[in-house]
Amino acid sequence: MVSVDPRTLAEVSGPAPQLAPISRAPMTPGEVRELWAFVHGDIMVGGIRSILRRSLGLCPRHAWGYAAVEIELWEHGAGARGGHQPFDLTILYKDLAAELAEKLTAHHAPWHTDLRDVITPTQGCRICSDLHGTDQAHPPVGYAGMNIPALTDVSNRLQWTAGWIRETEPLWRTQVCPVCAQPRSYHSDEHPLLCRHHMVGAPLHAAQAAQVGRRLAELSEQMSGLVQSMTGDGPHAGPEQNAAWVIALSWFATWETVLDISASPNR
Ligand SMILES: [Zn+2]
Ligand SMILES: [Zn+2]
C-alpha cells in the first residue's frame, strides 16, 4: 500500500467540479442519449480515444454518468453476471490508469520536481462539449427510435450501480480521498491517496508520483482481470477485481458519487 501523501489537506485545493454529481442532480435526457451513444460505439473510434487520453476520461459528472448508463441499461452481457456491468468503462479507465502509471513511475530527472502536468487534463470533457448549446430536456430522437425518457428514468434509479458500490464497500472504504470524504471520516490504518482532482492542488514530486503510479498500475492490473471476467469464457472476478473500477474511477472522477450512494438508504 502506498504511504501517506505528506501534503496537508489545506495545501490541496483543486478547483471544484463544475457540474453536480449524478447522485445529486439526475441525468438529463440529453446526457443519457449522449452517454448511451458513447457506450454503443463512439468510444471505439480512434480519434475519440486520443481525445479521452488528453482529457483523462470524462469530467466527474459524466464519468459516473457513463458508468451508470452502461451498468443500468446494459441488460445482457457475457460473464457470470450476464449484464449490468461496466465493461467499456473498465476498458477505458484500465488503459488510462496504465498510461498514467507508466508516466508517473518513469525515471524523472531530479530537477523535474512537479509532475502535476501528467495528471492534469489538456482537453475538456467530450460529453460536456457535445451537449454544449443543446436542449438537454428535449434531445433529438435517438437511433432505432429508442425511448430516451424511459432510458433516462431507468438510468437515474442507479439500482445496479448502487449494488456494485455496496457490494465492494469493504474494499474501497479504506481508500477514500480524505478531501472528498470531508466532513465524513473514513478511519483507516492505510493511507489513502488523494483523488486526481484533489492531487493537482499542490506540487506532485517524483517520489509521490511514483507511489501514485504504482497504485494505478495495480488497479489497472485488477481491472484487466475484471474485463476478462466479463468475456465469454473468462475466469470469475475476485473481490479486489470487482472493486478496482470503483476505486480507479473515484481516483479519476472524485469519490462524491460513491459516498452519496453509500450514504443514501433509499438506494
Ligand atoms: Zn462532462
Ligand atoms: Zn478527492
How many Å lie between the centroid of ligand 1 and the Cα of residue 18? 9
Measured from the alpha carbon of residue 253, the closest ligand is 2
How many Å lie between the centroid of ligand 1 and the Cα of residue 41? 18
How many Å lie between the centroid of ligand 1 and the Cα of residue 189? 34
Query: Cell triple for residue 14?
Result: 483543486
Residue 174's domain spans which residues? 9-263
Residue 234: per-residue pLDDT: 84
Q: Is residue 141 in some structural domain? A: yes
How many Å lie between the centroid of ligand 1 and the Cα of residue 192? 26
Q: What is the mean pLDDT of residues 5-13?
A: 46
Q: Is residue 2 in some structural domain? A: no
Specify the higher pLDDT residue, 242 or 77: 242
pLDDT band at 17 (very low <50, low <70, confident <90, very high): low
Specify the higher pLDDT residue, 256 or 47: 256
Measured from the alpha carbon of residue 193, the closest ligand is 2
Q: Is residue 1 in some structural domain? A: no
Residue 182's identity, in one-letter code, is: Q
Q: Is residue 256 in some structural domain? A: yes
How many Å lie between the centroid of ligand 2 and the Cα of residue 223? 21
Nearest to residue 244, comparing CAs of 49, 97, 75? 97
How many Å lie between the centroid of ligand 2 and the Cα of residue 125? 18
Q: Is residue 4 in some structural domain? A: no
How many Å lie between the centroid of ligand 1 and the Cα of residue 59? 4
Query: Cell triple for residue 194?
Result: 488523494
Query: Cell triple for residue 152?
Result: 433516462
How many Å lie between the centroid of ligand 2 and the Cα of residue 199? 8
Residue 212: per-residue pLDDT: 96
The answer to whether the beta carbons of residues 148 and 139 sit under 8 Å apart is yes
- 198-223 pLDDT, tens per residue? 999 999 998 899 999 999 999 999 99
pLDDT band at 76 (very low <50, low <70, confident <90, very high): confident
How far apart CA 70 and CA 35 sit, in angstroms, is: 8
Range in 42-46, 58-62, 95-99, 120-124 with the lowest mean pLDDT: 42-46
Range in 41-50, 59-68, 217-226 with the lowest mean pLDDT: 41-50
Residue 144: per-residue pLDDT: 62
Q: Is residue 105 in some structural domain? A: yes
Q: Is the dihedral of CA 192, 195, 199, 205 positive or negative?
A: positive
Q: What is the mean pLDDT of residues 237-254?
A: 96
SS (H, E, C) the chain: CCCCCCCCHHHCCCCCCCCCCCCCCCCCHHHHHHHHHHHCCHHHCHHHHHHHHHHCCCCHHHHHHHHHHHHHHCCCCCCCCCCCCCHHHHHHHHHHHHHHHHHHHCCCCCCCCCCHHHHCCCCCCHHHHHHCCCCCCCCCCCHHHCCHHHHHHHHHHCHHHHHHHHHHHHHHCCCCCHHHHCCCCCCCCCCCCCCHHHHCCCCCCHHHHHHHHHHHHHHHHHHHHHHHHCCCCCCCCCHHHHHHHHHHHHHHHCCHHHHHHHHCCCC
Measured from the alpha carbon of residue 259, the closest ligand is 2
Residue 3 has pLDDT above 60, yes or no: no
How far apart CA 148 and CA 142 sit, in angstroms, is: 7
Q: Is residue 3 in some structural domain? A: no
Residue 9: per-residue pLDDT: 45
Measured from the alpha carbon of residue 179, the closest ligand is 2
Measured from the alpha carbon of residue 31, the closest ligand is 1
Looking at the 3D structure of the chain, how many domains does it have?
Answer: 1
Query: Cell triple for residue 105?
Result: 513511475
